[in-house]
Structure 1
């Protein structure tokens, strides 16, 4: 029986842990299915030990589990490994792909979108064979997983060639803010899918939506990971009305904007928030204001929340993002941003949103011609197979000859 991958907090009563890390795993160019299977078997055993609070290197000492979970994703290149038993899933092929970084840096990240690569990166580090998402309640729980994963893979280097089947080529960490706001200072995640069946219906890949060669992915999902740098200095240079017009909400209350006049002044829903409250997420009485309203003027309809919603369930995605902060280095100030993580039964949903003109297509964040506040540091889409009873790790049928293990 197929079960949704762990690490997706879709059901009622579930809250994503505070901390996140995504590790990108690159396969050696001469790696074979047998070598990859051996590496993933060892990794799954390690990650499962961390789930239950044990670690061999600590000789039996307790390791707090801290709600730790892991989720394995397969990139397009995983299916090009010699001996792979599955072809590249159709939904990982063009047009559901990211472009390469321009030779001089930058360039459009996704055709039809307004998202460009950060000019300071030389390559998109997310487009490798695998990724693994770690979530946990503490920074230690997720960074320890990255460290242990790296060390385990390095220990598998061949003595003669010095090469290993897999290595960690990049990692990205993040956290949830306790104020439920983003680095733009506005509330984040107000207009997300309701927990329970509504989320699951958007997340879970169904057999009828899959090509015959991709049926093994039924019950799993597709994960998009995009590391977005936020130009907070540019954002702070805008007036408050400009920022609220771009977002489509007021900054302090989070109330939806319903009108923007010729001078750029915004008007929020006059009934929001309910009496006795100051922010829309502070009281159940404000629940009706979490979704952006239909009755807004033409300028308000160009805001981010309006473009990203449209009240159309068939194009919704489930977002599970985490902010990040990077320390300043010599010649570079600190940077902040968002690890955008979304789960959807079909990545067409996300790419439709990002590429369609009346949605987010051609825009960087919102508005008719908004400033370039966001830049892509890394981004890719991954197929996340379901958990199958008896399989040593999700998707093991791609590389293993053994078939499901007997529990």
Structure 2
């Protein structure tokens, strides 16, 4: 029996934990399916122990579970490992993917989009063989997972070559804000798919939508990870009206913008927020304002929330993002941004949204000529196989010679 991977909070009553980390796992160039299978199986044992509140070096101690969960993803390169039992999934092949960073730095991260690599980025660190997403309620729960994963893989180094089948080559962390806003100061995540059946219908890969060679992925999903740096200094130079016209919502209330006059002054829905509420997410009576309205003027239609929505479920994705903050370093000021994480039954949905002119194509954030507020630090698409009875870890049929139990 195949089940959706854990770590995707799609059902009613589920809320993503507050803290997030993603570890990027790079396979040694000489690694084989046997070595990778052994490493991933050992990691799954470790991650399940952490999920149950255990710690390898504190056997018998009681530790909080912190709603900890893990999710394994396979990048395109994973299927090039010697002995792989599956070809590269159809939806991981070009044109679905990220470009390499230009030799001189920068360059378009995705053809047809308005997203460029950030200055100072020499390599896209996310485009490796595997990733693992960790979510938990405390910073310790996700930091501990990265530490234990790294140490376990390091312990697998060959005594002669000094190499291990897998290593943690990069990691990124993030958090959800208490005020449900982003570093742009606006409400975030208001316009998202309804939990339950609607959300699952967008997330879950179904057999009829998969190529014959990819049927083993039925019940799984595709995850997009994009580490987006926000130019908060540039953003703060914009007037409140300019910010609201780019976002498509008012800053304080979160009400949808319905008109922008010739002077650039925005007008929100006059019925929003409902009586007695100051923000759209503070009262059930405001539920109708969470989705941007269809009846807006042409200037408002160019805003981010209008371009990213279009009221068409079959083209939408499920977002599960986390903000980040990085301390200043020598020669570099502090940085803030968003770990953009989305789940969809096919990455076609995301790339359609990012490349189509009437959606987000050629725009950096909103409008046709808006400032470049966002830059890509790292990004990749991963397929997340379903949980199958008898498999040591999701997707084990790719590297293991052991047939899973089918019930």
**Correspondence for 2:62:** 62
Deviations 1:292-337 (A, max 9, x none): 0011000000000000000011110000000000000111110000
Cα distance in 2, alignment partners of residues 162 and 341 from structure 1: 34
User: Structure 2: where are the runs of 5+ without partners?
Assistant: none
Q: Does 1:358 align with 2:354?
A: no
Cα distance in 2, alignment partners of residues 198 and 238 from structure 1: 37
User: Structure 1: where are the runs of 5+ without partners?
Assistant: none
Cα distance in 2, alignment partners of residues 45 and 406 from structure 1: 21
Shift in Å, 1:405: 6.2
Describe how 1:304-315 pairs up with structure 2 within 5 A. Answer: 304-315=304-315
Q: Does 1:212 align with 2:212?
A: yes
**Correspondence for 1:296:** 296
**Normalised TM-score (structure 1):** 0.99
Kindly report the root-mean-square deviation, in angstroms, between the aligned alpha carbons of the 2 structures.
0.9
**Correspondence for 2:17:** 17
Cα distance in 1, alignment partners of residues 403 and 174 from structure 2: 36
Shift in Å, 1:81: 0.2
**Correspondence for 1:160:** 160
**Correspondence for 2:387:** 387
Deviations 1:94-140 (A, max 9, x none): 11110000111110000000000001110000000000000000000
Describe how 1:141-160 pairs up with structure 2 within 5 A. Answer: 141-160=141-160
**Correspondence for 1:259:** 259
Q: Does 1:171 align with 2:207?
A: no
CA distance 1:199–1:403, change in 2 (3 Å): same
What is the number of residues matched between the two proteins?
407
Please say if residues 392 and 405 of structure 1, whose CA atoms lie closer than 8 Å, have aligned partners that are also in contact.
no
Describe how 1:86-105 pairs up with structure 2 within 5 A. Answer: 86-105=86-105
Shift in Å, 1:63: 2.4
Shift in Å, 1:368: 1.6
**Correspondence for 1:107:** 107
SS in 1 for 2:57: helix
Deviations 1:171-191 (A, max 9, x none): 000000010000000000000
Cα distance in 1, alignment partners of residues 252 and 266 from structure 2: 14
Shift in Å, 1:406: 9.6
Cα distance in 1, alignment partners of residues 76 and 406 from structure 2: 29
Describe how 1:3-402 pairs up with structure 2 within 5 A. Answer: 3-402=3-402
Cα distance in 1, alignment partners of residues 135 and 146 from structure 2: 11
Cα distance in 1, alignment partners of residues 171 and 330 from structure 2: 21
SS in 1 for 2:309: coil
Please say if residues 230 and 375 of structure 1, whose CA atoms lie closer than 8 Å, have aligned partners that are also in contact.
yes
Please say if residues 202 and 316 of structure 1, whose CA atoms lie closer than 8 Å, have aligned partners that are also in contact.
yes
Cα distance in 1, alignment partners of residues 290 and 64 from structure 2: 36
Shift in Å, 1:59: 2.9
Cα distance in 2, alignment partners of residues 16 and 59 from structure 1: 28
Cα distance in 1, alignment partners of residues 264 and 5 from structure 2: 45
Please say if residues 388 and 394 of structure 1, whose CA atoms lie closer than 8 Å, have aligned partners that are also in contact.
yes
